[in-house]
């Protein structure tokens, strides 16, 4: 699978622009199962901006959603300090915030964790792969070479939990019956996260060894937003069939879909066209939208390298002991 998701304070004006955190030194610490060999602490703080944006877009009128605050965090940054003393922002890695309430709010809350985080992570992975393939100076160096690029990507994935993509992976895994007990049955494990971590470990080992072929072979993981698209589309279809307003939920589906649209379109253009038609926010979705999206994505699975076993079944129950109950359920 290709590469591939809430806590914060409400800030309304330029005070939201100031970096609120000192980037930790990640060298030697473990996040999401990976022990870092370099310092990428700033990247681990980016998910906090995602949490802050989601917070200021939550709630009801007249106080919320606060698009002014969301735009400030998006454009000027908040939690990630830059080298010049300001704050680094998400603006350079994604799209522009609309100022429209309603279903778009749900879509916008998901764009940072989906489109932005995914694309920025892919940028760092691709940078590492390029260094390895071109054998640029110091390309195997853990602190400054391709392994460092990969650690920047992993810091964004696993850092500032539960604001980043790892939390989304685990949430979606629970909805699709893709959780299991750990070996000691004390904690719950996401099969999707384990697969992502396996691919990451392969890339990291290949980067340290300077093995471009092995690096490229493992350059492949993006399940969480695929699952999020399917789940939200199912909910929107269910609401439409029941005669209820499906638009806010459709907005969620679009938010997830936009994170993977380019990947799907490059693999199978017809599938992307079918999904876009089913998730057209200019009209209410049909009761069959879920089946349309599911069929379109499944047609792309072989080209994307997605195994149906790692997509699971929406609503599936898995017998677990790790979470204090017998079942983790949708």
- For residue range 298-326, list pLDDT tens digits in order: 999 888 878 887 788 888 876 788 776 55
Residue 120 sits at the vertex; the CA angle it makes with 118 and 121, to the nearest 5 degrees, is 65
The 10s digit of each residue's pLDDT in 215-240 is 887 765 556 677 888 888 999 999 99
Element (H, E) at 207: helix 191-209
More confident residue, 214 or 328: 214
Round to whole Å and give the CA distance between 197 and 128. 17
Range with the poorest average pLDDT among 91-95, 132-136, 186-190: 91-95
pLDDT at 256: 82
The whole-chain average pLDDT of the chain stands at: 78
Structural domain boundaries of the chain?
14-217, 225-304
Take residue 57 and report the two structure tokens written for it.
């877009």
pTM of the model: 0.66
Q: Give the residue-averaged pLDDT of 286-301.
A: 94
Q: Which residue has the higher pLDDT, 7 or 90?
A: 90
226/245 Cα distance (integer angstroms) = 23
Contact 279, 285 (CB under 8 A): yes
How many residues are recorded in the chain? Answer: 330
Is the confidence at residue 7, as pLDDT, over 50?
Answer: no
Q: How confident is the model at residue 289 (pLDDT cuts 50, 70, 90)?
A: very high
């Amino acid at each position: 699978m290709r590469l591939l998701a809430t806590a914060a304070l409400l800030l309304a004006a330029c005070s939201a622009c100031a970096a609120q955190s000192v980037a930790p030194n990640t060298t030697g610490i473990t996040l999401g199962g990976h022990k870092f060999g370099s310092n990428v602490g700033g990247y681990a703080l980016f998910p906090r901006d995602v949490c802050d944006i989601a917070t200021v877009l939550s709630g009801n009128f007249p106080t919320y959603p606060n698009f002014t605050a969301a735009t400030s965090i998006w454009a000027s940054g908040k939690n990630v300090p830059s080298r010049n003393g300001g704050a680094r922002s998400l603006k350079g890695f994604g799209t522009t915030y609309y100022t429209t309430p309603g279903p778009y709010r749900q879509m916008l809350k998901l764009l940072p964790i989906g489109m932005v985080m995914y694309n920025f992570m892919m940028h760092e992975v691709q940078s590492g792969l390029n260094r390895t393939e071109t054998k640029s100076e110091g390309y195997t160096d853990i602190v400054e070479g391709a392994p460092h690029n990969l650690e920047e990507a992993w810091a964004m994935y696993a850092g500032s939990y539960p604001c980043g993509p790892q939390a989304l992976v685990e949430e979606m895994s629970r909805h699709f019956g893709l959780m299991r007990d750990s070996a000691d049955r004390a904690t719950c494990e996401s099969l999707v996260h384990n697969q992502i971590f396996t691919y990451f470990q392969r890339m990291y080992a290949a980067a340290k060894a300077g093995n471009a072929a092995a690096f490229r072979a493992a350059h492949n993981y993006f399940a969480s937003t695929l699952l999020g698209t399917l789940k939200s589309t199912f909910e929107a279809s269910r609401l439409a069939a029941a005669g209820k307003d499906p638009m806010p939920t459709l907005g969620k589906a679009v938010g997830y879909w936009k994170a993977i649209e380019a990947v799907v379109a490059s693999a199978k253009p017809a599938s992307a066209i079918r999904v876009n038609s089913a998730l057209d926010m200019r009209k209410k979705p049909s009761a069959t939208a879920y089946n349309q999206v599911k069929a379109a994505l499944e047609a792309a699975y072989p080209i994307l390298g997605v195994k149906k076993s790692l997509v699971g079944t929406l609503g599936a129950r898995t017998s677990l002991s790790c979470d204090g109950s017998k079942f983790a359920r949708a």
